[in-house]
Amino acid sequence: MNICNVNIEKDVLLIAEIGNNHEGDIVLAHEMIAAAAEAGAHVAKFQTITPEHLVTADQVDRLAQLKGFCFSPDQIYELSKTAKRHGVGFMSTPFSKTAVDVLDPIVPAFKIASSDNDYLPLLQHVARTGKPVMVSTGLCDYGQALKVREVFKTTWQEEGIKNGKLILLHCVTSYPTPPNEASLGAINALKKIGVPVGYSDHTLGIEAAALSVAMGARVIEKHFTLNKENSTFRDHQLSADPADMAELSRRIKEILTLVGDQVKTVMPAEKAIEKAVRRGVYAARDLAVGDVLQDEDVDCLRPRIDFSPMDLPKFLGKPLRRTLSKGAALSEEDFN
């Protein structure tokens, strides 16, 4: 599956979740895209909110805050152009069907927030775009995660969309997430659902995000800010700054190198020393032609000259074809 020119079967997609850390400053938002690209992120991601379609009318202060954070469709389009200039993908989490319609022409994939992973009309509307979709599974147990998959599977079938792609992101919806509740082991549980799995991180620091790659996460979403002390807005403190993001990008590459292709095989570096460190089969005493090989007739010593001690049972009880001095290596040709 390719998203923003990243094949997540071979690499890890790193999303800098700018979210609302711009706090409505469009100039800052453009600067943050550039900084995210410079730090090694593959995607700069925002949030597209229609406040009156998110919270109730009596939440006056929250509505005012959200309206202050909102960008117009034209501003969102300009942000996507800035991302393109800096060589990164542009995404934004839609919090309404209207937002989906605004974003559909300009985003390569959609990301659904944990708070909306049970918002059926939104899930169905996103599914109908046919684009790849990532869903954070905060506030979900395994059963709810299965329901999310079924919503997309069913909608794609109804719409005749044959190649719909879903990625489930392990997430804990707590800001910040306590280390003892990060539950990275849940990544292994989500893998059983049969779709690619990633991690949306709300812990402090970058350790959990880096470790999730070793657990098998193929998408990492980490909140991003230019300054963790920028304001009292909560997301700054749990975000990665440019230095953190660059270090996370470096660690992801390092971990992918260490993890490898997850196929158990003899590695080239091992093959170079295999005969030197493996045991072979040697005569423990002088042996004559016709002697029937017994356990006490052999020693297993380094280096290996011919066959493995694992194959010894098939030669025990067979007569020798040649004379062997004590310490000589046995070979398959020594037997009838």
What secondary structure, in 3-state letters, does the chain show? CEECCEECCCCCEEEEEEECCCCCCHHHHHHHHHHHHHCCCCEEEEEECCHHHCCCCCCHHHHHHHHHHCCCHHHHHHHHHHHHHCCCEEEEEECCHHHHHHHCCCCCCEEECHHHCCCHHHHHHHHCCCCCEEEECCCCCHHHHHHHHHHHHHHHHHHCCCCCCEEEEEECCCCCCCHHHCCCCHHHHHHCCCCCEEEEECCCCCHHHHHHHHHCCCEEEEEECCCCCCCCCHHHCCCECHHHHHHHHHHHHHHHHHHCCCCCCCCHHHHCCHHHHCCEEEECCCECCCCECCHHHEEEECCCCCCCHHHHHHCCCCEECCCECCCCECCHHHEC
Q: How confident is the model at residue 231 (pLDDT cuts 50, 70, 90)?
A: confident
**73-131 pLDDT, tens digit each:** 999 999 999 999 999 999 999 999 999 999 999 999 999 999 999 999 999 999 999 99
pLDDT-derived band at 233 (thresholds 50, 70, 90) equals confident
pLDDT of residue 163: 93
**What three-state secondary structure class fits 267?**
coil
- pLDDT for residue 177: 97
The number of helices, as runs of H, and strands, as runs of E, in the chain is 11, 12
Instruction: Measure the CA–CA gap between 66 and 89, rounded to whole angstroms.
Output: 24
Residue range 309-322: average pLDDT?
96
pLDDT greater than 90 at residue 329: yes
Quote the pLDDT of residue 262: 85
Residue 312: which H helix or E strand, with range? Answer: none
Q: What is the pLDDT of residue 27?
A: 98
Q: What percent of the chain has pLDDT over 70?
A: 100
Mean pLDDT, the chain, whole residue set: 97
202 vs 36, 65, 198, CA distance in Å? 18, 21, 13
Query: How many whole angstroms separate alpha carbon 34 and alpha carbon 30?
Result: 7
Q: How many CB atoms lie within 10 A of CB 195?
A: 18
For the chain, which residues make up each domain, given as ranges? 7-259, 268-334
Q: Is the pLDDT of residue 190 over 90?
A: yes
Q: Are strands 110-112 and 89-94 parallel, antiparallel or unpaired?
A: unpaired
Judge if 7-259 and 268-334 fold alike in CATH terms: no
Q: Is the pLDDT of residue 48 over 80?
A: yes
Predicted local confidence at residue 250, as pLDDT:
98
pLDDT of 234 reads 84
Q: What tokens does 97 get? A: 């069907």
Higher pLDDT, 230 or 12: 12
CATH number of 268-334: 3.90.1210.10
- The pLDDT, as a whole number, for residue 232 is 83
Residue pLDDT, tens place only, 235-270: 898 999 999 999 999 999 999 999 998 899 999 999
pLDDT, average across residues 267-287: 97
Let me know if domain 7-259 sits in CATH 2.40.40.20: no
336 pLDDT above the threshold of 80 = no
pLDDT for 230 equals 82
Does pLDDT of 229 surpass 90?
A: no
pLDDT over 90 for what percent of the chain? 97
Give the C-alpha separation, 45 to 19, whole Å: 6
Beta strands 13-19 and 219-223, pairing class: parallel
Distances (CA, A) of 106 to 80, 83, 187: 7, 11, 30
